[in-house]
């Protein structure tokens, strides 16, 4: 049955908002040199435009389940997109670096909520037998952003200026706001739901310190005091957060979703997939530019085919999930991901750009096959009220796993480089070691997929 025109408009509003927020993550990096020159700030300072955004958006994800319940999806969507719009205006004003950073934080407050909110909306608007197709649409959005973002950013910065980049984002955000205001259904939130402040603080402390600790590992090392302190504080904060959720009558983030075997398996597989994939996206441009001697443009174009393939395959894998279930997709996806990671263990400086791009695309195909099915499968056995909690937990753990995987792979590269020898040889060996770790992680996921799923009790 085809959706009604009103449903199509609702879907267009939600997916457009999600795409804009995802796209925004890939627009800033090409503009950083221009921002540095404009405001005369150092690289360490300007990096807060990306670090601040990443940290803030990640901290908003656990809060989303409570906000959906308290405000209802339509109101929350309008608030999140409104914050994103205001942040884009501040960035586009070009007044000062402080104003740009404030704008970036406002963007992150909206974007952190938008992605899980869009997933909840898509899952709620589709019957269970069509959830794979619904998540396939989400997968298309996730894949389109890294393919389009750097290209749009580069063209805008080169032909106009960096602040016109964010003025354009603000105009698009205003259009999404208007469409959402007109077409999203009005619902009542639960105004009796009270925010548990200790849970919010423990969530920020635990997840925030873990993410910061992992991000600091590549430069400082595992044993650096700031890394150890951050990780210990993060683990303690997360332990206290989990313990508090167990005693609350109405948890801030209901972790009982992890008692559902299918959900628990899907979350673990998604974490492992992200951990094995994320680091390679960071490391391959380093290899292509520093070892092979190609330009930044060439390394960017290297990523585009994989992102395009991921976008094309996401809806297909979603439809296959609706007909066949997750097992065949997970076996296929993790096999491809493992083989792609394993091939990069034999990396040499003599590899052609075509070979590197083909193997990178192979890894992205493996992720595309898995992504939609895992997102859909994770919520199949959850009730409607538990679905927002399930989506928030999934996205939070996925962020942590991606940060850990990236930190582990980059640290392996740095460790090999510090061992001495030729820079090119050390970098190549470090990348081979990093991808060996990624291959081991993806092999673990493949073996886990072969294990029969425990029955719910």
* 3-class SS letters over 199-211: HHHHHHHHHHHHH
Two tokens, residue 34: 């221009």
**266 in Cβ contact with 377 (< 8 Å):** yes
Q: State residue 107's pLDDT score.
A: 93
- Please give the angle made by the CA atoms of 89, 94 and 95, to the nearest 5 degrees: 105
Distances (CA, A) of 343 to 180, 429, 432: 45, 14, 9
Give the Cα separation of 375 and 137 in Å (integer): 11
Where are the alpha helices (H) located in 344-386, listed in sequence order? 353-379
Give the Cα separation of 386 and 409 in Å (integer): 35
Give the Cα separation of 320 and 130 in Å (integer): 10
CATH fold of 1-181 reads Growth Hormone; Chain: A; (1.20.1250)
Give the Cα separation of 445 and 269 in Å (integer): 6
**340 in Cβ contact with 370 (< 8 Å):** no
Residues 6 or more apart whose Cβ sits within 8 Å of residue 192: none
**162 in Cβ contact with 35 (< 8 Å):** yes
**35 in Cβ contact with 49 (< 8 Å):** yes
As to burial, measured by CB atoms within 10 angstroms (0-12 exposed, 13-18 middle, 19+ buried), residue 108 is buried
Does CATH number 3.40.190.10 belong to domain 257-452? Answer: no
Question: Using N-to-C axis directions, what is the helix angle for 197-220 and 48-60, rounded to 10°?
Answer: 140
- Tell me whether domains 1-181 and 257-452 share a fold: yes
Give the Cα separation of 64 and 310 in Å (integer): 27
Residues 6 or more apart whose Cβ sits within 8 Å of residue 161: 34, 94
The residue among 306, 329, 305 whose CA lies nearest residue 316 is 329
Quote the pTM value: 0.85
- 92: enclosing H helix or E strand: helix 73-93
Widest CA span in the chain: 65
The residue among 392, 397, 380 whose CA lies nearest residue 120 is 392
The residue written with tokens 């994989």 in the block is 306
Distances (CA, A) of 231 to 109, 383, 418, 444: 24, 34, 24, 24
Where are the alpha helices (H) located in 26-96, listed in sequence order? 32-39, 43-46, 48-60, 64-71, 73-93
**149 in Cβ contact with 20 (< 8 Å):** no
Residue 25 in 3-state DSSP? helix
Q: State residue 433's pLDDT score.
A: 87
Residues 6 or more apart whose Cβ sits within 8 Å of residue 336: 362, 363, 365, 366, 369
Expressed in percent and rounded to 5, the helix, strand and coil fractions of the chain are 85, 0, 15
Q: State residue 457's pLDDT score.
A: 43
The residue among 21, 23, 25, 16 whose CA lies nearest residue 176 is 16
Chain centre to alpha carbon of residue 349: 30
Q: Where are the domains of the chain?
A: 1-181, 196-251, 257-452
Looking from the CA of 384 toward its CB, the CA atoms found within 13 Å total 8
Conformational region of residue 454, where left means phi above 0, alpha means psi within -120 to 50, and beta covers everything else: beta
Two tokens, residue 174: 């205003």
Task: Return the number of other C-beta atoms located less than 10 Å from residue 167's C-beta.
Answer: 18
Mean pLDDT by 10 residues, the chain (457 residues): 70 89 80 80 76 84 88 90 94 86 92 90 85 85 74 75 86 94 84 84 91 80 84 93 90 90 91 84 75 69 80 89 90 92 87 86 88 88 89 89 84 74 73 88 90 60
Phi, psi of 196 (to 5 degrees): -85, 100
């Amino acid at each position: 049955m085809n959706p009604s025109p009103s449903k199509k408009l609702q879907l267009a509003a939600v997916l457009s908002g999600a795409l804009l927020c995802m796209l925004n993550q890939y627009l800033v990096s090409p503009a950083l040199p221009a921002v540095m020159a404009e405001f005369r700030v150092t690289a360490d300072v300007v990096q807060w435009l990306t670090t601040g955004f990443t940290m803030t958006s990640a901290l908003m994800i656990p809060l989303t389940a409570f906000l959906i319940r308290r405000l209802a999806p339509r109101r929350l969507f309008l608030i999140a997109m409104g914050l994103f719009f205001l942040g884009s205006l501040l960035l586009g004003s070009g007044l000062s670096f402080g104003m740009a950073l404030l704008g970036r934080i406002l963007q992150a407050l909206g974007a952190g909520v938008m992605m899980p909110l869009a997933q909840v909306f898509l899952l709620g608007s589709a019957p269970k037998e069509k959830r794979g197709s619904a998540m396939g649409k989400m997968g298309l959005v996730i894949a389109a952003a890294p393919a389009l973002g750097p290209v749009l950013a580069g063209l805008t910065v080169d032909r106009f200026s960096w602040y016109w980049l964010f003025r354009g984002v603000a105009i698009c955000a205003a259009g999404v706001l208007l469409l959402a205001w007109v077409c999203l259904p009005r619902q009542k939130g639960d105004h009796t739901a009270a925010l548990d402040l200790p849970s919010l603080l423990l969530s920020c402390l635990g997840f925030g310190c873990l993410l910061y600790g992992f991000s600091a590992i590549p430069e400082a090392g595992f044993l650096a005091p700031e890394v150890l302190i951050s990780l210990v504080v993060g683990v303690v904060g997360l332990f206290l957060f989990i313990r508090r959720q167990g005693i609350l009558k109405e948890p801030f983030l209901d972790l009982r979703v992890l008692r559902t075997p299918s959900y628990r398996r899907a979350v673990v597989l998604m974490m492992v997939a992200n951990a094995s994939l994320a680091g390679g996206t960071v490391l391959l441009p380093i290899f292509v530019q520093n070892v092979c001697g190609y330009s930044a443009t060439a390394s960017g174009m290297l990523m585009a085919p994989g992102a395009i393939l991921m976008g094309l395959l996401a809806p297909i894998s979603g439809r296959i999930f609706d007909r066949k279930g997750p097992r065949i997709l997970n076996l296929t996806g993790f096999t491809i991901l493992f083989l792609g990671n394993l091939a990069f263990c034999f990396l040499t400086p003599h590899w052609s750009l075509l070979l590197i791009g083909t193997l990178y695309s192979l890894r992205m195909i493996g992720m595309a096959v898995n992504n939609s099915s895992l997102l859909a499968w994770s919520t199949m056995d959850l009730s409607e009220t538990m679905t927002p909690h399930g989506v928030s937990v999934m996205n939070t753990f996925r962020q942590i796993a991606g940060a850990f995987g990236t930190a582990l792979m980059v640290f392996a590269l740095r460790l090999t480089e510090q061992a001495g020898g030729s820079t090119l040889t050390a970098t190549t060996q470090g990348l081979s070691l990093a991808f060996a770790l990624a291959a081991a992680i993806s092999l673990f996921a493949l073996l886990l997929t072969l294990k029969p799923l425990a029955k719910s009790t």
